[in-house]
């Protein structure tokens, strides 16, 4: 089963091969990159609602993941999210593969959201 792997800078650490048997390494989903969460702790972003714009602020990993989920599912438009891969692209390109990010295991991480969508369907 696909899993999240914490990327590591320790001497000798290498990216593990994906458990799916494809022969490739786990897919990096951090920043910068196509799959990275555009919401950073300490950043502000603009949300577009039907009745106008409102600013939001990211104060924790949990906030970053919540904003990621809300924008991914189209609960509101967000300037930081333009151009992010679609749900269909997430399913097509990430299904079955291990995903790697810098977030500590056991803490909120958008990679867990991507794994859930890619491998188990809806959140």
- Per-residue pLDDT at 94: 95
Q: Is the N-terminal amide bond of 32 cis, ω within 30° of 0?
A: yes
> How many domains, in total, are found in the chain?
1
The two structure tokens encoding residue 29:
């989903």
Locate all alpha helices (DSSP H) within the chain, ordered by sequence: 61-72, 87-94, 110-120
Alpha-carbon separation of residue 106 from 47, 79, 122, 123 (angstroms): 28, 29, 21, 18
Tell me whether residue 122 is exposed, middle or buried, using C-beta atoms within 10 angstroms of its C-beta: 0 to 12, 13 to 18, 19 or more. exposed
- Per-residue pLDDT at 80: 66
Domain that holds residue 30: 4-120
Alpha-carbon separation of residue 62 from 11, 33, 38, 53, 108 (angstroms): 30, 20, 14, 22, 6
- Per-residue pLDDT at 73: 81
Per residue of the chain (123 residues), what is the pLDDT tens digit?
A: 899 999 998 998 889 898 888 889 999 999 888 999 988 899 887 766 666 666 778 899 998 998 888 888 876 666 667 788 988 999 999 999 999 999 999 999 999 999 999 998 655
Report the mean per-residue pLDDT for the chain. 86
pTM of the model: 0.85
The two structure tokens encoding residue 51:
């009745």
């Amino acid at each position: 089963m696909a899993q999240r792997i914490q990327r590591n800078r320790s001497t000798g650490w290498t990216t593990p091969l994906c458990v799916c048997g494809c022969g490739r390494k786990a897919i990096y989903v951090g920043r910068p990159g196509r799959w990275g969460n555009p919401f950073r702790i300490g950043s502000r972003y603009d949300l577009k609602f039907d009745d106008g714009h409102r600013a939001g602020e990211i104060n924790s990993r949990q906030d970053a993941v919540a904003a990621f989920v809300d924008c991914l599912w189209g609960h509101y438009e967000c300037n930081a999210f333009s151009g992010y891969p679609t749900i269909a692209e997430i399913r097509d390109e990430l299904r079955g593969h291990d995903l790697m990010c810098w977030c500590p295991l056991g803490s909120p991480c958008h990679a867990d959201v991507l794994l859930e969508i890619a491998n188990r369907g809806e959140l």
